[in-house]
Amino acid sequence: MYGLFPENSSMGEKARQRKLSKEDKLLAKRIRELREKQNLTQEELSARLGKNFSYIAYIETGRRGLSLPTVYRIARVLGVEVRELFNF
């Protein structure tokens, strides 16, 4: 998969190693809470988003950040308003 930066770029390496902020971690925790409340597995939510089966696992464990469009898609799939994801 191609990212924003070339594989051999030091900037690309820094981007891949970026630490998530406190808010990113809280958002990930909130997504997990809402997913579990609906009795969805990580794999089921990933499939509903049209992503790889491990996509939500990466988000929930802090190995992947979220873009704004993805936040909107997750909210839509979970059947909540976007602001509900930030209710932490």
Class of domain 20-85 (CATH, top level) = mainly alpha
76 against 63, higher pLDDT: 76
More confidently predicted of 8 and 61: 61
Tokens representing 78? 């979970």
Percent with pLDDT over 90 in the chain: 61
pLDDT of 6 > 90? The answer is: no
pTM reported for the whole predicted model: 0.76
- Kindly report, residue by residue over 15-33, the tens digit of the pLDDT: 545 677 889 999 999 999 9
Q: Where are the domains of the chain?
A: 20-85
Distance CA 43, CA 35 (A): 11
Instruction: Calculate the alpha carbon distances from 65 to 18, 24, 38 in Å.
Output: 9, 7, 22
